[in-house]
Every structure is written in structure tokens, then in C-alpha cells.
Copies of this chain bind each other. A is one copy, B any other.
Amino acid sequence: MFTSKSRLFLPLLYIVWSDDLLTADEFNTLSTFIKNQAWLSEDEKSFLESHLNLSIPPTRSDLNAWRKEIAEMVAVNPTFLSFYDLQLKVSADTSLDQYKSLFEKLEQDLGILGSEALLNFTKNNTNQTYNYETNSSFDVVKMTAILDGNVANAINEVKKVISSPEFAYENTTDVHVYREKVLEWCHILAQKNLGNRAYPKKYGGGENLAEYFAIMETLSFHDLSLVIKFGVQFGLWGMSIQSLGTEKHYEKYLNKVGKLELPGCFAMTETHHGSNVKGLQTTATYNHDDQTFTINTPTPKDQKEYIGNAAAHGQMATVFAKLIIDDTDYGVNAFIVPIRDKNNKSLSNVEINDCGLKMGLNGVDNGTISFHKVVIPKENMLDKFASVNKEGVFESPIPSDNRRFFTMLGTLVGGRIGIPRSALAAAKSGLAITIRYSDQRRQFGPEGGSEIPILNYRMHQRRLIPPVAKTYAFHFALRYLTQRYIDKKPEEMQEIEALAAGLKAYTTWHTTATLQECREACGGKGYLSENRIDRLKNDTEVYTTFEGDNTVLMQLVAKNRLSVFRKSVSEMDSMDKVSYVWNQTKVYLSERNPFATRDTSDTHLLDAAFHLNAFYYREHEITVSAAKRIKNLIDSGLNAYDAFNVVQHQMIDVAKAYLDRVVLEQFLHKIETIKEVATKSMLQKLAQVFALHKMEENRAWYLENNYMEAVKSKAIRKMVNQLCWEIRPDAVALVDAFGIPESCLAAPIAKKI
């Protein structure tokens, strides 16, 4: 029989028998403890001992009866602070209070946490975690309007088309069926004048580049094979003619390209030359006799590879090849080369092979093309930047082959705007599916209560809220890039090209990482094709590679930043201009006083000026440090080539710091323009998450550079957690504001109940 003293042990007995974390060791611990308590009688000791015999466990109903009895006491007074309070209550003898510290030590010896053990007996549905839910603080329609901005009409035009029954998803695993469906979709888009939106009006177009990018971005909510096929036809193929050709080419081709009457390819990459396009080996040899070019693929490794529209539908291609006149190599130029006839039969001397199954984008017919001495007329050279005159002499306003080639590439930078915008749309789709699901999916929860929406778990918020914030930030950064590109002046091209290369890399990496989180956060459901995350993930996987390998692009961005930095230093020295670098330097000094490095007040941590300063500081210092390191390596006798190799890792940081700063700055600029309070304050919160999460990511750097002390970096981590928690009720509204048509979300797990 239980006495009041032995009843003191009842909750402990329940715990040791039921908790799956306790082992035989703990029985011994408890047993030894009992033996040593002089205030227990021998009867009480042996009674308790009898309940700790592993070979004679209590019955299941005994155990349940104990639990029931204890739980009823907890229900009457649910505010027990400690496990010992509960024990006392069970014993009903307050004089036993004197043994409190003994039992607290015992709890520790057993490895149990009293307050956690208490949860075994409580209904516990009064906790914060349980009672948190979706409750949005802003108007979704207003937020969508801010995101869509001045191209809302084009976006809505596209949404209407892709929501129509003709655009029902094609779920076949048969690549050929899928390809034909994608082509059919492209024809519909061409009919609706969505493909030629950027072409001159004279040739059927809309002369509206901003809308073209918006169209491509919005199509990305639907099917990414469609987007890439669309981008190959109207972007790469059509715009290569527009950018590299002249009036005679426009007149001959642009209308047909825009109507998809002339499907074509952009044949740049070769098997052995992808990132290093300057090294292309295909040749275009000028024949003086009949004023033609012979296009030739010297060896199989020089074949054009991964060419979209090549394997099935393309009739012509813009081919990049080294121009050869009289055995002199004039560098890479572009030529229009027919590859198939109207009946879709490949032309003689043009060898086309299918790239076969790919990880994704299987609705796009990528192929290889080899040219076996294919002869084309002279007029097929796209001759905006170089031409062969009547005498068969090479002419160009740009004497350097290198520079001419990069000038040509520069006109094609639009691809590096379209791709990240498409990638970001895919990230939006993934987040919309995952956050809606996480708001509805319940797993685990208090004893006896219903389970808890998984989005209430802090780790789940940590995985999904920062990507939402980044997605908003990148959205505005890409809009800024697009506008810069549309308004470009020649002297800005360097900067715009670097920004496009950088944002292409940064955004596509963001998409890859985000969709990875989405897949995992949706668990098994995220693995089923019906929920579309697999396709989003596999289709965008190659975005980090095409339009330039991300790692290579980041090196280019960093080189550009070092060059800008070197110039700015000399400007600073000369003191006749005051560059931002100089302005900022003064701010850094104030930020690095002992007060600021330790300031963990909420006001300071949430202050946009602090964020921007921290980003500028990092950008500046990291660039200076890379420049110095390169110089030191070279001064120490290292070949410059080797020196740049040694610092590659640091160069990536230079590029990242630059991009982080631009993205934050543009986000803040955008927020400044917003009047409406609720959306503004929501976006401010997202900007805070973006900024602090980035600072958390880079906290090692900030600590190494004494920009902050440990106390501050820890406070930033906690603040990110806190902001994620605060944003959680708005999470569903934030992804709804992306304005993705329900027909495109299509995932059963994303359906709103």
C-alpha cells in the first residue's frame, strides 16, 4: 500500500516505467536513492523496491491508473512549476517539502527534465505553439499590385492564357508527347503576340522589353519546359537576330520568328566549350569565289551541344563560329544557318542528334548539331559588329577580336535577366505549395489534444520564412536590374552585365536551395510528382549552369568589382570626387565603436540604416582584402594566373557581398516608395529578416573583423528566430500575394480547404 511518503514517488515510478528514454540504469539510480533515504521506513522502502523490479513490472492497468490519478490532480491545478510540486501534491503531505533538493538532484541523476516530464500529465493545449495560426496583417491584393508593378497588364494577360483549359498540365513520361504539347503551347502564345513582345513594331512586335520579361516570368508559374522553349525561340533565336543582325535580317526573319512560323535555335555551346565560349572551334570559312561561308565542325568534340529546339523542331540556327578568311582567324562571329526544311527533315550535311533524356526540361528538344561543310550565303552573317566587305576583307568598328566578342555577348545579356526571373517564379511556386501545406499539415502535439500545424514549429519557420524574405528581396532586385537594362547607356553596360551575371547566379542558387527545403519540408508528399515540387526542382536544376556556370559568373563579377574598386581608390586619392566608398568609410568608423559592436537593443538590430551600413562595410572590406591578397601573392613571386586561382574562394565572397548589398539597397528603396501602412510594414519586416539572416550567415566574418562582438551576433540569431515567429501568421498571405494561378499550383497538398 502507498503511504503519503511513498506516494511522493508515484510520478517518478510512472515516468521510469513509461518514458522510452530511460534505461535499466535509471531503475538502479532510483533504487539506490530509495535505499539511502533514512526518512523512509523499511516497509516503504521494500514496497517501493517491489515496484522497481524489472522482472515483475506493474500491470498495464496499474500504470494507466497511476497516470489517470496524477493527471486529474494536474487538471485541477495546471500551474505546477516543478515536478517536485506535483510529487508533493500527490503525496498530500506538505511537510515533505523539506526533501525538495534531494529530489531535484535525483531528477538530474535520472536525466529527466521535470518540467518536460510534467507534460506527460497535462492536456497542454494552452501553450503558444498549439494556439498559433494563420492571420494575415495586410491586403493580399495590394501586395500583389506592388509586386506586379508597371507590367501588371502583361502579367494578367499571361495568367489568363495559362489558366485556360488548353494549358492543362501534360503529365506523360513520353518525351515526344511532352515536346509536341510544349510546341503547341508555344504556338498559342505566338498567336496571342506574347512571343514577339520585344520586337520592333515594324516587324509585328510590341517594342516592349519590360513586358517580354514579365511574360517569361509569368509563364514560369506554368511549365518550365514551356518557358525555355519559349525563351529559345523568341529570346535566344529571335533576339540574336535583333541584336547581332541588321535591317536586312530583321525584315527577312523577325516577323516569322515572332509568329513561330520559323522555329530556330541558338547554337553557341560546343561539347568542349561551354563556359569558355571564346574557345569555340566551329569554323565559318569565307569563300571569295562565290561570296559564301562554309560552316564546319572540325571534330566531334566541337559539335554544338544542348541546343534547344534542335532535336525536333528548329529550321534554322544562329551559329557561333570562328570566321576564317584566307587562313586568318577573325574570332567568333554569328551566322544564320538553315538546319531543316519545311517538312522538318534535317538538311544534308547537317547532322542532328537528340541529347536524350535529361534530369528535367524534357519538354524541350535539346540536341547536338554538327556541320559538315555547310555552305551559306554571305548575307547570312549577322553583321552588326563585323562584316566581310565586297573585296572579301574583314571590317569591324571594334579592332580587338576579344573585345568584339564580348560586345556581342553583352547584347545578349537579356538571357541573364530572363533566367533568374523565371527561376524566382519557380521558387515562388515551391514556397506557395510548401507553406500552404505546412499551414494545414498537423503532426505531433500535446497528449490528448489535436496535433499542431507543422508551420508552428520553429525549425520549420526557420527553413521557410527566410527563403520567403529572400524571394521578395530578389524580386525587387530583378525588377531593378530589368529597368537598368532597359534604360541602359553604353557606359553603364559593364556594370549592368556584372549585375546580371551576379543576380543570375545568386537567384538561381537561391531557387535550388529553396526548392530543396520545400521538397524536404513537404516530406513524402514532396516526393510525389502530383505535388509538382519534383518538376520545379529538376527543371530549374540546370538554371545554375546555363547562361553561364554560376561559379564562373561569380568570378567574373568579382573581377569586375575589383576593377571598379581600383578605380574608386584612385578617385578617393585624388579627392576631387567623393565616391560612395569614401562616404561609407566614415559611417563604418561610427559603427565600430565599442558601443555599437555590443549594441543588442531591438531598435538598433531592426534599424535599416544599421543593416545597410553592415552590408556596405562587408562589401568594402572584403573587396579591399581580396585586392591586397592578390597583390601580396604576386609580390611574393606568384604568377598572376596562379594568384587568381589561389583567391578564387575569396573572389566568390567579393561577388556575394556586392550582390547582398545591391539586393538589400534596392529592397529598401522600393519600401521607401510605398505609402500604404500594412504592406509597407510587412515588407519592412521581410527586409529585416533578409538583412539579419544574411548577417547571421556571415557572422563569422563580422566577428573576425570586430564589427560585432559575440553578444551581438547571438542577439541577431535570436532576432531572426523571433521575426520568423512573428511573420508565421502572415506566411500564407505572403505566398498568396505572388499571385500564382490556382490552376498552376495544381498540387493536391496546396489546395486551400
Interface residues of A (CB under 8 A from B): 17-21, 23-25, 57-60, 62-63, 105, 108-113, 115-116, 118-119, 124, 126-130, 171, 173-175, 269, 272-276, 279, 305-306, 330, 355-360, 394, 396-403, 405-407, 442-444, 446, 451, 456-460, 462-463, 490-491, 493-494, 512, 516, 519-520, 523-524, 526-530, 533-534, 537-538, 541-542, 544-546, 549-551, 555, 559-560, 562-567, 569-570, 630-631, 634, 639-649, 652, 699-700, 703-706, 710, 713-714, 717, 721
Residues from chain B with Cβ under 8 Å of A545 in the complex: 520, 523-524, 526-527
Pick from B105, B406, B491: contact of A25, CB under 8 Å: B491
Residues from chain B with Cβ under 8 Å of A493 in the complex: 23
Q: This chain: how many copies in the complex?
A: 2
A640 B118 Cβ-Cβ under 8 A:
yes
Residues from chain B with Cβ under 8 Å of A109 in the complex: 567, 570
Given contacts A524-B546, A704-B713, contact A446 B641 (CB under 8 A): yes
B60 A396 Cβ-Cβ under 8 A:
yes
Q: Can you name 28 A-B pairs with beta carbons within 8 Å?
A: A19-B403, A24-B491, A60-B401, A63-B400, A105-B570, A108-B569, A111-B563, A112-B566, A119-B640, A124-B639, A129-B642, A130-B641, A269-B524, A274-B443, A275-B444, A276-B443, A356-B530, A357-B528, A358-B534, A359-B519, A359-B538, A519-B541, A520-B549, A520-B551, A523-B549, A649-B721, A700-B700, A703-B703
Given contacts A23-B494, A639-B124, A704-B710, contact A18 B457 (CB under 8 A): no
Residues from chain B with Cβ under 8 Å of A174 in the complex: 173
Residues from chain B with Cβ under 8 Å of A538 in the complex: 359, 534, 538
Residue of B nearest to A459 (CB): B648
Provide the bound-state CA to CA distance between A57 and B519, in Å: 55
Which of A129, A446, A463 has the most C-beta atoms of chain B within 10 angstroms of its own C-beta? A129
Residue of B nearest to A460 (CB): B551
| Minimum CB–CB distance for A673 against chain B, Å | 30
Provide the bound-state CA to CA distance between A407 and B54, in Å: 15
Q: Which 3 A-B pairs have the closest CB atoms?
A: A359-B534, A20-B406, A18-B400
Pick from B24, B60, B401: contact of A330, CB under 8 Å: B60
Residues from chain B with Cβ under 8 Å of A713 in the complex: 700, 704
Residue of B nearest to A62 (CB): B399
Provide the bound-state CA to CA distance between A70 and B419, in Å: 41
Provide the bound-state CA to CA distance between A451 and B276, in Å: 10
Residues from chain B with Cβ under 8 Å of A402 in the complex: 18-20
Residues from chain B with Cβ under 8 Å of A63 in the complex: 399-400
Given contacts A111-B567, A451-B279, contact A21 B356 (CB under 8 A): no
Provide the bound-state CA to CA distance between A533 and B357, in Å: 12
B704 A714 Cβ-Cβ under 8 A:
yes
Taking A457-B648, A458-B649, A703-B704 as known contacts, 12 extra A-B pairs with beta carbons closer than 8 A to each other, sorted by chain A number, are A18-B400, A18-B403, A23-B491, A23-B494, A59-B399, A173-B175, A306-B524, A456-B645, A460-B551, A700-B700, A705-B710, A706-B710
| Minimum CB–CB distance for A71 against chain B, Å | 14
Residues from chain B with Cβ under 8 Å of A272 in the complex: 442
| Minimum CB–CB distance for A613 against chain B, Å | 20
Residue of B nearest to A395 (CB): B60
A551 B699 Cβ-Cβ under 8 A:
no
Residue of B nearest to A355 (CB): B528
B279 A113 Cβ-Cβ under 8 A:
no
| Minimum CB–CB distance for A484 against chain B, Å | 15
Given contacts A23-B491, A560-B21, contact A394 B645 (CB under 8 A): no
Residues from chain B with Cβ under 8 Å of A648 in the complex: 457-459, 462
Residue of B nearest to A640 (CB): B115
Provide the bound-state CA to CA distance between A70 and B586, in Å: 44
| Minimum CB–CB distance for A281 against chain B, Å | 12
B60 A124 Cβ-Cβ under 8 A:
no
Provide the bound-state CA to CA distance between A627 and B583, in Å: 46
A116 B359 Cβ-Cβ under 8 A:
no
Residues from chain B with Cβ under 8 Å of A645 in the complex: 128-129, 456-458
Given contacts A524-B269, A545-B523, A700-B700, contact A559 B21 (CB under 8 A): yes
Provide the bound-state CA to CA distance between A681 and B581, in Å: 48
B113 A640 Cβ-Cβ under 8 A:
yes
A113 B534 Cβ-Cβ under 8 A:
no
Residues from chain B with Cβ under 8 Å of A19 in the complex: 402-403
Provide the bound-state CA to CA distance between A646 and B642, in Å: 48
Residues from chain B with Cβ under 8 Å of A171 in the complex: 357
Residues from chain B with Cβ under 8 Å of A451 in the complex: 276, 279
Residues from chain B with Cβ under 8 Å of A534 in the complex: 358-360, 538
Provide the bound-state CA to CA distance between A490 and B25, in Å: 11
Which of A355, A524, A705 has the most C-beta atoms of chain B within 10 angstroms of its own C-beta? A524
Residues from chain B with Cβ under 8 Å of A463 in the complex: 551
Given contacts A570-B105, A648-B459, A649-B458, contact A57 B397 (CB under 8 A): yes
Provide the bound-state CA to CA distance between A355 and B60, in Å: 39
Provide the bound-state CA to CA distance between A639 and B130, in Å: 11
Residues from chain B with Cβ under 8 Å of A128 in the complex: 639, 642, 645
Provide the bound-state CA to CA distance between A555 and B457, in Å: 12
A276 B523 Cβ-Cβ under 8 A:
no
A562 B57 Cβ-Cβ under 8 A:
no
| Minimum CB–CB distance for A222 against chain B, Å | 19
Residues from chain B with Cβ under 8 Å of A700 in the complex: 699-700, 703, 713
| Minimum CB–CB distance for A36 against chain B, Å | 12
Which of A21, A124, A355 has the most C-beta atoms of chain B within 10 angstroms of its own C-beta? A21
B458 A550 Cβ-Cβ under 8 A:
no
Pick from B62, B358, B459, B565: contact of A652, CB under 8 Å: B459
Given contacts A113-B562, A570-B108, contact A399 B58 (CB under 8 A): yes
Provide the bound-state CA to CA distance between A530 and B279, in Å: 26
Residues from chain B with Cβ under 8 Å of A721 in the complex: 646, 649
Residues from chain B with Cβ under 8 Å of A118 in the complex: 640
B527 A358 Cβ-Cβ under 8 A:
yes
Provide the bound-state CA to CA distance between A648 and B567, in Å: 47
Residues from chain B with Cβ under 8 Å of A644 in the complex: 116
Provide the bound-state CA to CA distance between A259 and B564, in Å: 70
A126 B459 Cβ-Cβ under 8 A:
no
Which of A17, A533, A649 has the most C-beta atoms of chain B within 10 angstroms of its own C-beta? A649
A111 B564 Cβ-Cβ under 8 A:
yes
Residues from chain B with Cβ under 8 Å of A639 in the complex: 124, 126-128
Provide the bound-state CA to CA distance between A698 and B129, in Å: 30
